[in-house]
Amino acid sequence: MALMFLPYGKQEIDDDDVAAVVAVLRSDFLTTGPAVERFEAALAETTGAAWAVAVSSGTAALHAACFAAGVTEGDEVIVPAVTFLATASCARFLGAEPIFADVDPNTGLIDPAEVRRRVTPRTRAVIPVHLNGATADLAGVRAVAPGAVIIEDAAHALGGPRAFEDGSMATFSFHPVKHVTTGEGGAVAGDDQEKRARLLTFRNHGMVRAEAALRSASPGPWYYEQQHLGHNLRLSDLHAALGNSQLRKLPRFLARRRTLAARYDRLLAPIDGVEPAAGPTSAYHLYAVQIDFDRFGVTRATVMARLREAGVGTQVHYIPLPMQPYYRDRGWRPEDFPGANHYYGRALSLPLFCGMEDGDVDRVVEGLLLALEIDR
Ligand SMILES: *Cc1c(COP(=O)(O)O)cnc(C)c1O
């Protein structure tokens, strides 16, 4: 019998998720309705924040959080050199410049000492990324960038430890490979009420309706003001209903991910040259390993192709941003980021999702050993 192909990540949708979305379709509100409010309340509780604002994607969440942080033209936003494109693009959307800080060569997490080197009077925000679900050193970053707003890119870390100090925020993504999904979706969470107000208007075209916030006296109930540029970044009630249903399962999803990760840890422990990239506090979005491909004399491309043939999907998270043509054109040089280059050169993400069986982990590890030409 042919074995099921194992992608590196995948959603888990049950009948109750389907029923939750169908119920919204039969209701009065497809958007801007009660499912969104419920989702935001549940997210605030899950993340330990005073509030959460749901938006249309993790990218939108980063964009909106930068706006709420006051990021504007000429500002600088420090981001790790190893992350997804969106962590840096959000600064560019507002006319600011992403400034890359090098990362720890073994974990890929932002290095506070490198942040310190990059801080200038124009630094408005720093966006540490909890890569793979491992916890970035927020206290270390805060200590070297005291004037900056901290925006945690927690797309990999829903359910991990959170603390919102000094007006900091965290952003999340609900893309199907993440811990819980809404199809497409995202959110910003935090404690600072002023930032929440800015997020709500930015999500909705910059429209202000509250009497107290108007610049002119209201002539009647239709009145609104655009006080700054905004966008339509709203999440629909269909998406939010799926999110509500999924969020209830987060504890089970996290427990399953940790169990699978522990099994990988155990099976890989005896293999010199293959090290797990994430520490024990990880919320395990990805099961990322660092492989010394040179030592095995096999390229990563070959290993990935062999695994694919064996029915195992893998991915590389991520190509360092200074390597991207867009940022080379803006003057960045990849050779200035030895930590990022080391991490990237050895990175491979193995399949990790809740629907995996224990035996699937064994199958992935067997396939990896064969692909690396390791005899046991
Ligand atoms: C997924 C992801 C994003 C973007 O989220 P989308 O919902 O896909 O827009 C941003 N940062 C990181 C680290 C991510 O993994």
Helix axes 15-25, 237-247, angle to 10 degrees: 150
Q: How many angstroms is it from 114 CA to the middle of ligand 1?
A: 23
Q: How much of the chain, in percent, has pLDDT values that exceed 90?
A: 94
- Name residue 287's beta-bridge partners: 350
Q: Is 65 in the pocket of ligand 1 (CB under 6 A)?
A: no
| Bridge pairing between strands 287-291 and 274-276 | antiparallel
Q: What pLDDT, in 10s, does the model give residues 35-52?
A: 999 999 999 999 999 999
Residue 178 annotated among the catalytic residues of the structure: yes
- Give Cβ neighbours of residue 103 (< 8 Å, ≥ 6 apart): 80, 81, 82, 109, 110, 111, 114, 131, 337, 339, 340, 343
d(Cα 139, Cα 115) in Å, to the nearest integer? 12
pLDDT band at 163 (very low <50, low <70, confident <90, very high): confident
Each residue's pLDDT tens digit, 322-343: 999 999 999 999 999 999 999 9
pLDDT of residue 70 exceeding 50, the answer is yes
What lies within 8 Å, CB to CB, of 133 at 6+ separation is 156, 157, 160, 278, 282, 283, 284, 285, 286
Tens-place pLDDT, residues 359-375:
999 999 999 999 999 98
Q: Is 57 in the pocket of ligand 1 (CB under 6 A)?
A: yes
Any atom of ligand 1 within 6 Å of the Cβ of 67: no
Q: How far is the CA of 145 from the centre of ligand 1 (A)?
A: 24
Two tokens, residue 288: 């990322």
pLDDT of 165 over the 50 cut:
yes
pLDDT, tens only, 211-265: 999 999 999 999 999 999 999 999 999 999 999 999 999 999 999 999 999 999 9
- Please compute the mean of the pLDDT values over residues 76-92 and round it to a whole number: 98
Quote the mean pLDDT of the chain: 96
2 pLDDT tier (thresholds 50, 70, 90):
low
Does any ligand 1 atom lie closer than 6 A to the CB of residue 59? yes
Give the model's confidence band at 94: pLDDT under 50 very low, under 70 low, under 90 confident, else very high: very high
CB 241 less than 6 A from any atom of ligand 1: no
- Going by pLDDT thresholds of 50, 70 and 90, the confidence category of residue 346 is very high
Residue 1's pLDDT is: 45
Which residue puts its alpha carbon closest to atom 15 of ligand 1?
A: 155
In one-letter notation, the amino acid at residue 315 is Q
Q: What is the pLDDT of residue 227?
A: 94
Identify the three-state secondary structure at position 330. Answer: coil
Atom 3, ligand 1: residue with shortest CA distance: 58
Residues 125 and 151: beta-carbon distance below 8 Å: yes
pLDDT over 90 at 206, yes or no = yes
Q: Give yes or no for a contact between 32 and 200, defined as CB atoms under 8 angstroms apart.
A: no
Q: Answer yes or no: is the C-beta of 172 below 6 A from any ligand 1 atom.
A: no
pLDDT attached to residue 325 = 98
| Best probe residue, ligand 1, of 57, 59, 66 (max atoms within 8 Å of C-beta) | 59
The answer to whether the CB of 58 is under 6 A from ligand 1 is yes
Separation of CA 203 and ligand 1 centre (Å): 18
Under a CB-based contact definition with an 8 Å cutoff, are residues 273 and 333 in contact?
no
Dihedral of the CA atoms 248, 252, 258, 264 (nearest 10)? -120
Q: What single string gives the DSSP state of each residue in 225-244?
A: EE-S---B-PPBHHHHHHHH
Closest Cα to atom 7, ligand 1: which residue? 58
Q: What share of the chain is helix, strand, coil (3-state, %, to 5)?
A: 40, 15, 45
Q: Is 90 exceeded by the pLDDT of residue 305?
A: yes
Say whether 110 sits in a helix, a strand or coil.
strand
**Higher model confidence: residue 181 or residue 166?**
181
375 CA → ligand 1 middle, Å: 38
Q: Is the pLDDT of residue 198 over 70?
A: yes
User: Tell me, what amino acid is at 306?
Assistant: R
Cα of 85 from ligand 1 centre, angstroms:
8
- Give the Å distance between the CA of 57 and the centre of ligand 1: 8
Sorting pLDDT into bands at 50, 70 and 90, what band is 4?
confident
pLDDT of residue 277: 92
If pLDDT is split at 50, 70 and 90, which confidence band does 312 have? very high
Q: Are strands 347-350 and 287-291 parallel, antiparallel or unpaired?
A: antiparallel
Ligand 1 centre to CA of 135 (Å) is 16
Q: Which tokens is 368 given?
A: 């990896």
- Residue from 255, 254, 252, 195 nearest 71 by CA: 195
Got the DSSP string for 271-311? -TTEEESS-TT---SSEEEEE-HHHHT--HHHHHHHHHHTT
Nearest protein CA to atom 14 of ligand 1, as residue: 155
- The CB of 153 under 6 Å from ligand 1? The reply is yes
pLDDT for 162: 78
Secondary structure (H, E, C), 143-167:
HHCCCCEEEEECCCCCCCCCCCCCC
Residue range 268-296: average pLDDT? Answer: 91
Extract the runs of DSSP E, i.e. beta strands, from the chain.
Answer: 51-55, 76-80, 97-101, 123-126, 149-153, 169-173, 186-190, 207-208, 225-226, 274-276, 287-291, 347-350
Catalytic residue, from 10, 178, 195, 249: name it. Answer: 178
Which amino acid residue places its CA nearest to atom 2 of ligand 1?
155
Q: CA nearest 315: which of 276, 284, 351?
A: 351
